A and B are shown apart, each in its own frame.
Chain A
Amino acid sequence: MTAGMRPTDEEIYRRMRGGDRSALAELYERLAGRIHRYALYTSGRRQMAEEVTQEVFLRLMGSGGRFDQSRGSVEAYAYGLARNLLRRMPKTVSALSEEPFSGGDLLDELIDDERTAALYEALAELPVGYRDVVVFCDLEERSYEEAARLMQCPVGTVRSRLHRARQLLAAKLAPLNATAFEVGAR
């Protein structure tokens, strides 16, 4: 690390593995929120998302941590751990749509709790590669390049998967759109 430069996740990870408690806090600060959101987007369950986040860190610092820097970043590795943990957990339903949403224009009115739940279900039903690309690019608002790095695939693959994933999501939500537009037109 050069003086004055922000240490990389990998440097912090190595310090943490060496027993540095402050490095653990720093890595948690950087990654936990992202992993938590990813788990939340993917599962739709707060408790599960919290458990997955915790488990990811336990594995990162435990003896089972098999991170290999030559194969990608710590962040990509952490997402991979989360993805595998989520895959082993039971299918989810939305638990986030607890508060009714109130919007202004027609588009907002289309989106109520039922739609949020439907979107969650549609997301959960997507193949993992498609779901991840939606989470990274559309929900976390990362660039194609960042998503490609996290998913360890070419940028072109990210782009094509995103288009296809959005098409699948739109198709699943289309019946709700039609109903809402009919209601909105009255």
Chain B
Amino acid sequence: MVGCREWTAKVVDDARGGMGPDESLREHLATCPVCAGRWRDERVLTRELQILNDRVSDARLPRTGFDAVVREFDRQKRERRSVRTRWTWAAAAAAATLVMVLVVLHPGTTNPASEPDTSLAAASSEDGFVPVPYAPALAQGEFVTVLREELDPAALVRMGLPADGLGEDPVMADVMVGEDGFPRAVRVTKDSDF
């Protein structure tokens, strides 16, 4: 025999379906006041929920909500783009700084701006000038001055220039200096040139 507990699911399902009880349930309802009461409550509840559903279905979502969402969407998009741009600029600035640091530490080897130095080195092979190692790179268009000086070979060594075979006596040399007064290249001359 099926108890009331087993009938409950059928009562709920039939009441939700909006149809009347089927034959077997109808027979049970006729003899069970508890299930008959539940049946009635379930049917009322189903109808009430339907009415509530109808009322809510009539409720329209205002257009202003969508407009606000789109505005926020556009704002976030702009912000993301702006952040991307800022990162690009920051990366570019960092790269530029790195290049400048390399130029300062390794002039003539890493900085494209050291091209005048390179040409100076090329000239040294023709004119006898030997570039001073690790000297600051000449700026593009910077003027140089050539000074003839008497140099101690030890001074040449201090500048990083080879002094082999020069002995210990001072030698005459042409010193190419930049606008800042720092030597950039040296050419040892013969006494006869003096």
Write the residues of chain A forming the contact surface with B, with a CB cutoff of 8 angstroms: 19, 21, 24-25, 28, 32-33, 36-37, 40-41, 46, 49-50, 53-54, 57-58, 61-63, 96-97, 101, 107-108, 110-111, 115-116, 119-120, 134, 137-141, 159, 162-163, 166-167, 169-171, 173-174, 177
Contact = CB atoms under 8 A, between A and B. Distances in A.
Given A173-B44, A177-B44, A62 B76 contact: yes
Interface of B: 8-9, 12, 16, 38, 40-49, 51-53, 55-57, 59, 61-62, 65-66, 68-70, 72-74, 76-77, 80
A137 B52 CA distance: 13
B56 A166 contact: no
B53 A107 contact: no
Contacts of B65: 32, 50, 53-54
A46 B65 CA distance: 12
Given A24-B73, A170-B38, A115 B48 contact: yes
Contacts of B57: 37
Contacts of B42: 166, 170
B56 A111 contact: no
Nearest to B64: A50
Main secondary structure of the interface of A (DSSP, over half): helix
Given A173-B45, A177-B44, A163 B9 contact: yes
Contact of B48 (A32, A119, A162): A119
Contacts of B40: 177
A24 B70 contact: yes
A46 B73 contact: no
